[in-house]
Amino acid sequence: MTLPPHHKTSATLADGREIHFYDDQAGRRREVVDTRALPPVESGSELRWDPTVEEWVVMAAHRKARPADAAAHCPLCPSTPGAATEIPAHDYDVAVFENRYPALRSTDGGPGDPGAALAMPAGGRCEVMAFGSEHETSLARMTEQRVRTVIEAWADRTRELNALPEVEQVVCFENRGSEIGATLAHPHGQIYAYPFVPSRFERMQRAARHAHARGTGCVFCSVLKTELAAGHRIVARSRHWTSFVPHAARWPYEVHLYANRHVPDLAALTEEERADLTGSYRSLLRRFETVAEAPLPYMALWIQAPARGERELGHLHAQVFSDRATPLKPKRLAAGELGAGTFISEVEPERAAAALRAAETWPAAPEFAGELVGVAAR
């Protein structure tokens, strides 16, 4: 399916924050006027260094003041004459704006040398991405054209945020479902531009570095090759993308969606790869909606190369996971898992992959059906 290029309109909200509209169809023109009287954004966030594990912790007490979800006053629904929201438009396709209650807020530089200070202002950027005007839906249920616009917006924001001097890592993510921690029911995600490489991503970089030092090449390419050879954990495959339940899955349902080509981030994808991702990603989310008797809450995030330095080690992929095997049975993390960091999984990855393969994706996913059946039967 060939989709028209997105059209972008940028404006400024009443308190000076940026907002960007991405339209499904090119050529749309809009006037953006925020009529609210808003005080300046004050984050007060602080980075604190934990030398015992060598990682940053973000202190953001001001976020307790952010509003909870209420259908009558949803901040992500379009503005109306009697109710102005965060989005000053009567309708929209995709909108991205700076968070009014950010955990990270731009400063003059990054976190600096952790050996020089144990605390400092938290730089970076936090953005909210609303996937559309409609309140009662999900990204999985949106049109293929809309999912493509979301992907284009992710790629554009990744490119622009990577260019900011204080940014070291851009992460696009979604928390879907109040059961898993989403504070707003409106379909949306977030983008965090960190002023440091988060510890889990740093461990991935270290693993990739070690694999290159051993002469085995990209560790992610090796994982993809191994999963394709094994076959029974593959969920779906298309010309440019492969989704699978990882060999060492931590969550009851956990799927990784890998670019078949070694590519650093969303901004580096070709036109054909983005078009193919549209169907592959929507199909994956639909499996999470249909694999159980009710849609599973999930978390999804894109793992991209850092903004600068060793970008060649990164291999673009998404991780989508749910903390429950059924809607009513959440996995509770115990002290050994949260405290020691060692997960104990009670769901066989191979069984989860079989269930996800069989899940309805309405309509059929753009996978290589014959090849996939052969792979799964091995």
* Catalytic residue numbers, as ranges: 188
Locate all alpha helices (DSSP H) within 22-108, ordered by sequence: none
Let me know: does 74 contact 184? Beta carbons within 8 Å: yes
Beta bridge partners of 57: 48
Strand order across the beta sheet in which 298-303 lies: 7-12, 18-23, 94-98, 125-130, 188-194, 169-176, 298-303, 317-322, 253-259, 241-244, 234-237
User: What are the tokens at 11?
Assistant: 């404006």
Is the Cβ–Cβ distance between 169 and 123 less than 8 Å? no
Q: How far apart are the first and last CA of the chain?
A: 31
300 close to 288: Cβ distance less than 8 angstroms: no
Please answer whether residues 284 and 255 qualify as being in contact, where contact means their C-beta atoms are separated by less than 8 angstroms: yes
Give the C-alpha separation, 270 to 334, whole Å.
42
Question: Which H or E run includes 358?
Answer: helix 349-358
Q: How many CB atoms lie within 10 A of CB 374?
A: 11
- AA identity, residue 328: L
Query: 349-358 vs 369-376: helix axis angle to the nearest 10?
Result: 150
Tell me 218's DSSP state.
Answer: -
Rounded to whole angstroms, the Cα distance separating 313 from 328 reads 39
Percentage helix, strand, coil for the chain under 3-state DSSP, each rounded to 5: 30, 20, 50
